[in-house]
């Protein structure tokens, strides 16, 4: 699978090397999942509007190859933004494969306090969106089904971030279910949501019937992150 991902991003790397030359310092694949366009990050010495225009002309070809449009920034910008994007950049640091250059993340780390605050924002935002989207569904079966299925990957990501904050394993569904039990969440609900998040085909889970338990799970998570401030 890594060979396939590397093949998908080779056109991106070739184009970036033509555009940036020796200003391209590192190019990495990131992301723990292998489905969908392959996400990448390019760290460059400098970035101008001319560079962006040259890259913009190639994004269609990149998508056709199976690669997502890369994140592009300087090494300094990345390091200075760790406190602003601790979850997103923490995921990149933990789950990446260097395709070009040396590992650009040596010596970088995410502040636990920054990550805790970001997790709290994400949990409460997820809960608010669940309630809002449910109201907007008008109670229609198909829309509720889509709501649960479309939001399940975000729920799984939240659990993974919380497990990382706890120093717990988070790579497999069983890891996440185990951690959810530590948080006193219903393991069956969590398992069903992870099944929906990871499933590539039909699932035996009835997403509409799952919604009440899903909502209760998110409310429990919101209560849990509230107690961080009290601890």
The pLDDT value given to residue 31: 82
> Mean pLDDT lowest for which of 24-38, 60-74, 116-130?
24-38
What topology is assigned to 112-230 in CATH? Answer: 1.20.120
**First-last CA distance in the chain:** 43
222 — pLDDT class (breaks 50, 70, 90): very high
Please report the pLDDT score of residue 102 as a whole number.
93
Confidence tier at 165 by pLDDT (50, 70, 90): confident
pLDDT value at residue 63? 96
The mean pLDDT of the chain is: 91
Please name which of 46, 29, 26, 47 lies closest in space to residue 38, comparing C-alpha atoms.
29
Does 33 score more than 70 pLDDT? Answer: no
CATH number attached to the domain at 2-101:
3.30.460
Token pair recorded at residue 48: 């101008």
The lowest-confidence range among 52-56, 75-79, 180-184, 197-201 is: 197-201
Task: Give the per-residue pLDDT at 227.
Answer: 82
Q: For residue range 168-184, list pLDDT tens digits in order.
A: 888 888 999 999 998 89
**pLDDT surpasses 90 at 208:** yes
Average of pLDDT values for 45-57? 97
Give the pLDDT band (50/70/90) at residue 209.
very high
Q: Which residues contact 212 (CB under 8 A, 6 or more apart)?
A: none
With 90 as the cut, is the pLDDT of residue 220 above it?
A: yes
* Strand 96-101 relative to strand 71-74, pairing: unpaired
pTM of the model: 0.77
Residue 1 confidence (pLDDT) above 70: no
Most confident of 59-73, 89-103, 173-187: 59-73
Helix%, strand%, coil% for the chain, nearest 5: 65, 10, 25
77 is written with which tokens? 């910008």
The residues spanned by each domain of the chain are 2-101, 112-230
What's the pLDDT band for 34 if we cut at 50, 70, 90? low
Same fold, 2-101 and 112-230: no
Residue 33 and residue 164: Cα distance in Å, rounded?
Answer: 16
Please report the pLDDT score of residue 202 as a whole number. Answer: 59
How crowded is residue 111: how many other Cβ atoms within 10 Å of its Cβ?
13
Q: Rounded mean pLDDT of 15-21? A: 98
* Band (121; pLDDT cuts 50, 70, 90): very high
Element (H, E) at 23: none
């Amino acid at each position: 699978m890594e060979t396939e991902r590397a093949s998908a991003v080779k056109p991106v790397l070739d184009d970036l090397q033509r555009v940036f030359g020796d200003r391209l310092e590192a190019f990495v694949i990131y992301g723990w999942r292998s489905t969908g366009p392959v996400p990448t990050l390019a760290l460059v010495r400098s970035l101008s509007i001319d560079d962006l225009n040259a890259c913009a002309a190639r994004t269609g070809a990149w998508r056709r190859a199976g690669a997502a449009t890369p994140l592009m920034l300087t090494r300094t910008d990345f390091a200075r933004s760790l406190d602003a994007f601790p979850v997103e950049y923490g995921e990149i640091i933990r789950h990446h494969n260097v395709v070009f250059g040396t590992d650009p993340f040596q010596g970088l780390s995410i502040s636990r306090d920054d990550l805790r605050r970001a997790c709290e924002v994400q949990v409460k935002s997820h809960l608010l969106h669940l309630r809002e989207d449910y109201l907007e569904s008008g109670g229609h079966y198909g829309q509720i089904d889509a709501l649960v299925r479309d939001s399940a990957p975000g729920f799984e990501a939240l659990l993974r971030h919380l497990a990382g904050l706890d120093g717990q394993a988070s790579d497999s569904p069983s890891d996440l279910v185990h951690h959810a039990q530590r948080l006193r969440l219903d393991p069956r609900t969590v398992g069903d949501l992870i099944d929906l998040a990871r499933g590539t085909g039909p699932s035996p889970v009835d997403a509409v019937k799952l919604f009440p338990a899903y909502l209760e799970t998110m409310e429990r998570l919101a209560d849990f992150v509230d107690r961080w401030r009290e601890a």
